[in-house]
């Protein structure tokens, strides 16, 4: 079996302690065949980074990392990847800050990744690149003569041409993506948007069954929804139900219902509208006052960026406002924490929550929605409220689907969920459970690797599967 080489911006080094918010490491755990090499940024900044990667051995995986300079960190990571690409890919043109020098630094870091990685490669390695930080890596590797199969998976949405055009280097970026053999997306919608961009921005390209040729290269796009280890997470949640932390949470509720939200503190996650909606629930339906508490775990993220700092101030304000308005001397409606919680503890919290509230304004997939479903007690499940703009909504149609921009609609859904009879909760849960168990992390990995392993021109052989 060929060696698998995973490349992502950040590498989950075994030496790093403490829970990290983010789905990649958990989802890829199943892909890590013995001998896998995982390459990326160490998370460290240094004056003159060594061009050679530093190696660290884990149980079955070797981690190879390079440092970034302070200037690279700022321009590549903070400014271009998270200040231009992230808002663009989440349909937030107003937040995009494009500077040509940041793009140059982005290309520079993709090149440096390629140079350090190329030194470690064997001829038959399968290379699987992850996410928007590394759109140019395939092209940079090809430039160095790397002929291995290279796949790319995008964890965010992809935007239609009207939006992509707003990025000054869009055509260059799209051309660079032709350095990959397989390009994967969570949903059909993102794949369709990508192929529309290809048709419109790369002249003369003919797309057929998700595949196209450009400048002598064949690229296959696929839909491969990411998931979680559903059975494993369900078992963790069942165990965690009796953990000290879950018991303390239960006790603190004093018999009240619990609504839960778990997100990185990011403007794409729709936290402002969610809090606004919870306030409206209490204002519009006073019967829920004192009867329900909302716990929001919002792990701090990208704190160096101005738009994240502004979001945090806005959230502080709205939490204070809501609690000031509705709190009573023995009840605080909105519990808001910005530190991380261990995954096992999180599982127990999901299980005691009557409502899982997942209302991103845009989200590639959203694993929290799947975790919430997996964690439920099958005999008395809670209700999932889910944004129609999360990739997960394409599959999890038995959730209460809401428009996250409409705080009143979210408030009404919360009201409906709090009053939902057991029979309806059971019916919805059964359907959701089936989907979550059907699109697991291991299926996600297996599907991607099946396509990546196909030799030369996989289009005709995989035709039917791509169309499905
Ligand atoms: C990107 C895409 C896509 C959160 N807080 C804590 C914690 N988390 C964990 C959750 C979940 C993960 O982080 C978050 O994953 P999401 O999928 O919800 O969102 P992103 O981080 O934005 O991930 C997204 C994903 O990539 C995978 O492709 O679904 O659309 O944006 O697992 O549980 N974990 C712990 N403590 C916390 O406080 N332990």
Task: Give the pLDDT confidence of 139-148 residue by residue, as tens digits.
Answer: 999 999 999 9
Indicate the top mutation candidate among 21, 87, 265 to test ligand 1's pocket, ranked by most ligand atoms within 8 A of CB: 21
| pLDDT tier for residue 456 given thresholds of 50, 70 and 90 | low
* pLDDT tens track for 90-105: 999 999 999 999 999 9
- pLDDT > 90: percent of the chain: 87
From 6, 12, 20, 22, give the residue whose CB has the most ligand 1 atoms within 8 Å, as the site to mutate.
22
Q: Is 438 a catalytic residue?
A: no
CA–centroid distance, 445 to ligand 1, in Å, is 17
Rounded to the nearest angstrom, the distance between the alpha carbon of 295 and the centre of ligand 1 is 17
Q: What is the pLDDT of residues 392-416, one digit of tens each?
A: 999 999 999 999 999 999 999 999 9
Judged against a pLDDT cut of 90, whether residue 459 lies above it is answered with no
Residue 160: the pLDDT is 98
Any atom of ligand 1 within 6 Å of the Cβ of 368: yes
Return the exposure string of 330-362: e unless at least 16 CB atoms fall within 10 Å of the residue's CB, then b. Answer: ebbbbbbeeebbeebbbbbbbbbbbbbbbbbbb
CB of residue 346 inside a 6 A radius of ligand 1: yes
pLDDT of residue 20: 66
How many angstroms is it from 48 CA to the middle of ligand 1? 32
Average pLDDT of the chain to the nearest whole number: 93
Burial bucket for residue 166 (CB in 10 Å: 0-12, 13-18, 19+): middle
Q: Band of the pLDDT at 265, cuts 50, 70, 90?
A: very high
> 397 Cβ partners below 8 Å, 6+ apart?
431
> Which pTM was predicted?
0.95
Which residue ranges does the chain devote to CATH 3.40.50.2000?
Answer: 4-226+443-453, 230-438
Q: Domain 230-438: give its CATH architecture.
A: 3-Layer(aba) Sandwich (3.40)
Residue (of 85, 256, 257) closest to 154 by Cα position: 85
Q: How far is the CA of 22 from the centre of ligand 1 (A)?
A: 4
Q: What is the per-residue pLDDT for 204?
A: 87
Average pLDDT for residues 287-295, to the nearest whole number?
Answer: 97
Higher pLDDT, 167 or 51: 167
Of residues 196, 246, 225, the one with CA closest to residue 351: 246
Banded model confidence at residue 461, pLDDT cuts 50, 70, 90: very low
Catalytic, out of 155, 186, 288, 354 = 155
Give the model's confidence band at 26: pLDDT under 50 very low, under 70 low, under 90 confident, else very high: confident
Q: What is the pLDDT of residues 236-253, one digit of tens each?
A: 999 999 999 999 999 999
* pLDDT over 70 (residue 72): yes
Q: In the block, which residue shows the tokens 């450009």?
A: 214
**Poorest-pLDDT segment among 222-226, 301-305, 425-429:** 301-305
138 lines ligand 1 (CB under 6 A): no
Q: Residue of the nearest CA to atom 6 in ligand 1?
A: 21
User: Which pLDDT score is estimated for 19?
Assistant: 62
Report the pLDDT value the prediction gives residue 18, as an integer from 0 to 100.
63
Spell out the residues 6+ positions from residue 404 whose beta carbon is closer than 8 angstroms to its own: 270, 273, 274, 359, 360, 361, 387, 388, 389, 410
The verdict on whether 363 is a catalytic residue reads yes
For residue 28, what pLDDT is reported? 86
> How would residue 27 be classed by pLDDT, with cut points 50, 70 and 90?
confident
Q: Bigger pLDDT: 354 or 300?
A: 354
Give CA–CA dist 402/219, Å, rounded.
35
- Considering the domain 4-226+443-453 in this protein, what is its CATH number? 3.40.50.2000
Residue 155, pLDDT above cutoff 50: yes
Residue 107 has pLDDT above 80, yes or no: yes
Residue 313 pLDDT exceeds 60 = yes
Cα–ligand 1 centroid distance for 262 (angstroms):
8
């Amino acid at each position: 079996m060929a060696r698998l080489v995973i490349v992502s911006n950040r590498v989950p080094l075994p030496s790093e302690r403490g829970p990290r918010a983010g789905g990649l490491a958990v989802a890829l755990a199943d892909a890590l065949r013995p001998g896998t090499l995982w390459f990326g940024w160490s998370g460290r900044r240094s004056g003159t980074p060594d061009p050679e990667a530093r190696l660290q051995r884990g149980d079955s995986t070797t981690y190879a990392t390079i440092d970034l300079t302070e200037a690279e960190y700022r321009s590549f990571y903070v400014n271009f990847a998270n200040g231009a690409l992230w808002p663009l890919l989440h349909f937030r043109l107003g937040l995009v800050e494009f500077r040509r020098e940041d793009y140059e630094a982005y290309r520079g870091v993709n090149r440096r990744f390629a140079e350090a990685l190329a030194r470690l490669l064997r001829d038959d390695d399968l290379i699987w690149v992850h996410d928007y930080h590394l759109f140019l890596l395939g092209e940079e590797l090809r430039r160095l003569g790397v002929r291995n199969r290279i796949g790319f998976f995008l964890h965010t949405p992809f935007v239609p041409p009207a939006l992509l055009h707003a990025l000054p280097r869009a055509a260059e970026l799209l051309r660079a993506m032709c350095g990959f053999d397989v390009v994967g997306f969570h949903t059909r919608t993102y794949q369709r948007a990508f192929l529309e961009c290809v048709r419109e921005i790369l002249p003369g390209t003919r797309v057929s069954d998700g595949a196209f040729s450009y400048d002598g290269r064949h690229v296959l796009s696929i839909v491969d929804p990411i998931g979680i280890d559903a059975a494993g997470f369900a078992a963790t949640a069942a165990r965690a139900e009796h953990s000290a932390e879950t018991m303390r949470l239960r006790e603190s509720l004093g018999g009240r219902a619990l609504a839960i939200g778990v997100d990185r503190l990011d403007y794409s996650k729709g936290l402002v509208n969610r809090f606004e909606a919870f306030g409206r629930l209490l204002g519009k339906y006073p019967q829920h006052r004192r009867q329900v508490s909302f716990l929001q775990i919002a792990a701090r993220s990208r704190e160096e960026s101005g738009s994240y700092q502004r979001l945090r101030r806005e959230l502080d304000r709205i939490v204070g406002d809501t609690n000031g308005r509705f709190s009573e001397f023995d009840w605080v409606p909105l519990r808001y924490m910005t530190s991380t919680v261990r995954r096992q503890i999180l599982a127990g919290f999901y299980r005691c929550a009557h409502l899982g509230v997942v209302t991103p304004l845009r989200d590639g997939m959203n694993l929290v929605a799947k975790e919430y479903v997996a964690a439920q007690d099958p005999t008395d499940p809670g209700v999932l409220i889910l944004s129609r703009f999360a990739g997960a909504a394409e599959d999890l149609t038995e959730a209460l689907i809401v428009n996250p921009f409409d705080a009143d609609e979210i408030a009404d859904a919360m009201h409906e969920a709090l009053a939902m009879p057991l029979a309806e909760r059971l019916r919805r849960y059964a359907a959701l459970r089936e989907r979550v168990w059907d699109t697991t992390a291991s299926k996600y990995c297996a599907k991607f690797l099946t396509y990546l392993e196909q030799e030369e021109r996989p289009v005709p052989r995989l035709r039917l599967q791509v169309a499905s």
